[in-house]
Amino acid sequence: MRTRYAVGLWAVAVLALTSAGAAAITDPVRVEQGLLAGTAGTSADIRVYRGIPFAAPPVGDLRWKAPQPAAAWQGTRQATEFSNACWQTQYPAAAAIYQAKLPPLSEDCLYLNIWTSAKSAKDRLPVMVWIHGGGFTRGFSGTKSYDGEILAHKGTVIVTINYRLGVFGFFAHPDLSAESKYHVSGNYALLDQIAALQWVQKNIAAFGGDPSRVTIFGESAGSWAVNALMASPLAKGLFQRAIGESGGSFSPMKTLADAEKEGEKLASSFLPAPTAVKDEAGQTAAPKNILKALRARPAEELLKAAELETVRPLVDGWVLPQDVATIFSQGRQNDVPLIVGYNADEGTTLAPQGANLKAILFVGGIHQRYGAYADPMLKIYPAASDEQAVTSFYSAYRDQVFGWEMRTWARLAAKTGHQPAYLYYFSRRPPGPQSAKLRAFHASEIAYVFGNFAWPFPWEDADKKLSDAITSYWVNFAATGNPNGGSLIKWPAYNAKDDEAMEFGDQIAVHPEINKAGLDFFDGYYQSLSSMKKNGAAPAATK
C-alpha cells in the first residue's frame, strides 16, 4: 500500500521555507576537515553553523555507493548558508503542504547544520540529531520548522542532517550488489545517516557537545530511520538514546532479492534495451556497462522515472541483517533509552480521501483486505452509517499504520532490553480554521517538539505551554535518558502490563490502554500473518 510508505507528508513542514544565512561572525571552530565560522542565532547566546559537509558529494561514480569522507578545505569555511536539498519531487499544487519554491536540488546534498548554546568546547552538552521525515522521498534539514534554537536554549546541541532520498537513497540492483564489498545495495540513505553520526562522534565536542550523550530523533520516515538505526549493527555506539515520532517498521519488510528485482525493472525503464551477450558457457549475460550507463543518466531523468516507486529500508544482510521485528524480538537491537509515540489523527492529511468514505465501501474493503479477520475488525471499527465509517477509517488507519508500530516498539524495547522505554500519545489539535478538519494530524507534534511555531496557525498560550513541557521532557531525556525532572508531570516507563502512555493534549496526563482494542487486534493479525508465512500458507486476509 503506497500510502503506508508515503507518509511523512507534514514532516516537510507546512509552508516551511529555508532560513536566510547571515555574515559569518563567530570565531572559527576546528573540525577534522578544517576551520568553520558560523553565525549568531536570533539571540547572541546561540551559534549556528549551516551547510557543513559530513561526506563527499555522492555524484558520478559515487552515485549508489556508501558515503565517502568529506574533503578537507583550506582557510576558514563560511558555514552561513543551508546546503542544497537532496533530489525530490515537488508536491502537487493541490496538496495541503504544497510549497511554491523548493530549495536548490542536487545530488551534492550530504550536509548538516548545528545550533549550540555552549560557551566553549568544555561544556559537554547533550546532543540531539534530527532525521527529517517526508516518506524517504521528500524533506530537507534546513526547513524553518526544524530550527534548533529553542531546544539549544534549553541546553542541548542540535544537529539536523540531510540524506539521499528516493531512487538515490534506496535503489537496489544485482550489479550494484555485485560491485559492493558486502554484496548489498539499496540502503544508501541509512548509510548517509550513519556517516553523519560518525561525523558527530568525531567533531561535535568542538561545538560544546558530548559525543557520549547523543540522541537520535525523527518523525515519520525519520522515525522509521531511528527504528532501523536501533536495529543496525553498523550504528552501534553512535548514539545513546532514541526518540521515534510516528513511524516504526515492525510489519513485514522488503528483502534485498525483492528490491533487486524491482531495481532491474526500474533500470530497464530508463535504459535502452541492451544487446544480449553470451558468456563462455553460451548463456545470455548482462551487459558489463550497465552501472556506467545508470550513473551517466541525469538526476532529473532518474527522479522522474522513479517518482511513483515506494522506497523504504530493506533487509540487505549488512545494514539490516534481519528484519527489524526479528532483531528486536531477539534483543539484538542497540539497547538505549527510548521515547516513542504517535498522534491521534494521523490519517487526516495522509489519507484525505477517507473524509468522503461511504459505509458500504468501507465494509467491502475490510472484507476484501482482511478476509477472516473482517468481522472482528468491524466490531472494533463499526460502520453502521457513513459518518461512523469515516470515524472508523481514520481510527483504523491510525492504529494500524502508526499506533501498533509504536506500541510494539515500546513493548519489545522494554521486554528485550535493559533500558527504559516511554510511550506517548499526542492529541492536541493545533488551533485555527483547519482544526476541526485536520485535528491532531500527522507531524503536528513537530511544532511543539521544536517550539518555534513556524507554521502559519493562530497559536495560543496553551500551545506554547504544551510545547514548553514537551521540549523539557525531550531535553531531559537527551541529558539523562529519563524525561522526568523538575515540576513536570511524572512520565512512567512503559511496561506491557500497565500499558501506560503520556497523553500530550489539552492537558498532560498519564492514561492506560489508549486505543487498546484496535492495537490488540493488529497484534493478533500480524502474528497470524507471520505464523502463516512461516508455515508456507497464504494468509486468510489476503486470499
pLDDT one-digit tens code per residue, 125-155:
999 999 999 999 999 999 999 999 999 999 9
Active site (annotated) includes residue 346: yes
Give the model confidence (pLDDT) of 148-207 as tens digits.
999 999 999 999 999 999 999 999 999 999 999 999 999 999 999 999 999 999 999 999
Q: How far is CA 399 from CA 94, 305, 323, in A?
A: 27, 33, 21
Average pLDDT score over the chain: 90
What are 339's three cell numbers? 521515547
Q: Which pLDDT band holds residue 94 (cuts at 50, 70, 90)? A: low
- Active-site choice (219, 442, 444, 467): 442
Q: How far apart are CA 344 and CA 428, in angstroms?
A: 8
Please report which helix (H) or strand (E) contains residue 245, including its range: strand 241-245
Determine what percent of the chain is predicted with pLDDT higher than 90: 82
User: Full-prediction pTM beyond 0.75?
Assistant: yes
The answer to whether 504 and 427 are in contact (CB under 8 A) is: yes
487 CB contacts (<8 Å, ≥6 apart)?
A: none
Query: Residue 278: its pLDDT value, please?
Result: 47
Q: How far apart are the C-alpha atoms of 431 and 467, rounded to whole Å?
A: 14
Q: 7, 69, 86, 6: which is closest to 33 by C-alpha?
A: 69
Residue 296 in any domain: the answer is no
How large is the greatest C-alpha to C-alpha distance in the chain, in angstroms? 76
Question: The domain containing residue 422 runs over which residues?
Answer: 2-256+309-542
pLDDT tier for residue 21 given thresholds of 50, 70 and 90: very low
Tell me the C-alpha distance between 10 and 447, whole Å.
Answer: 11
Cell 550523550 maps to which residue?
213
Confidence of residue 26 (pLDDT cuts 50, 70, 90): confident
* pLDDT the model gives residue 529: 84
Cell of 534: 512461516
% pLDDT > 70, the chain: 89
Mean pLDDT of 458-471: 98
273 domain residue, yes or no: no
- For residue 220, indicate whether it is catalytic: yes
Contact present, 299 and 228 (Cβ < 8 Å):
no
* Residue 184, domain CATH: 3.40.50.1820
- Within a domain: 294: no
Q: What is the pLDDT of residues 185-196, one digit of tens each?
A: 999 999 999 999
CA neighbours closer than 13 Å in the CB half-sphere of residue 395? 21
More confident of the two residues 308 and 403: 403
In a domain, 20, yes or no: yes
Residue 5 banded pLDDT, cuts 50, 70, 90:
very low
Q: Report how far apart the first and last C-alpha atoms of the chain are (Å, whole number).
A: 16
Which among 107, 219, 260, 346 is annotated as catalytic? Answer: 346
Give residue 280's pLDDT band: very low, low, confident or very high (50, 70, 90).
Answer: low
With respect to residue 504, please indicate whether it lies within any of the assigned structural domains.
yes
**Whole-angstrom Cα distance, residue 16 to residue 143?**
5
pLDDT at 348 (0 to 100): 96
Q: How confident is the model at residue 486, as a pLDDT?
A: 93
Q: What is the pLDDT of residue 44?
A: 87
Name the pLDDT band for 90 (thresholds 50, 70, 90).
Answer: confident
Chain centroid offset of residue 70 CA: 24
Of the ranges 10-19, 89-98, 174-183, 322-331, which one carries the lowest mean pLDDT score?
10-19
3-state secondary structure of 159: strand
**Catalytic residue (choose from 220, 246, 251, 472):** 220
Measure the CA–CA gap between 514 and 395, rounded to whole angstroms: 12
Side-chain-facing half-sphere of 41: CA atoms under 13 Å: 20
Backbone angles phi, psi at 368, to 5 degrees: -65, -40
Looking at the structure of the chain, the number of domains it has is: 1
Please answer whether residues 148 and 450 qualify as being in contact, where contact means their C-beta atoms are separated by less than 8 angstroms: yes
DSSP letter, residue 94: T
| Residue 264, domain member (yes or no) | no
Indicate whether 278 belongs to any domain. no
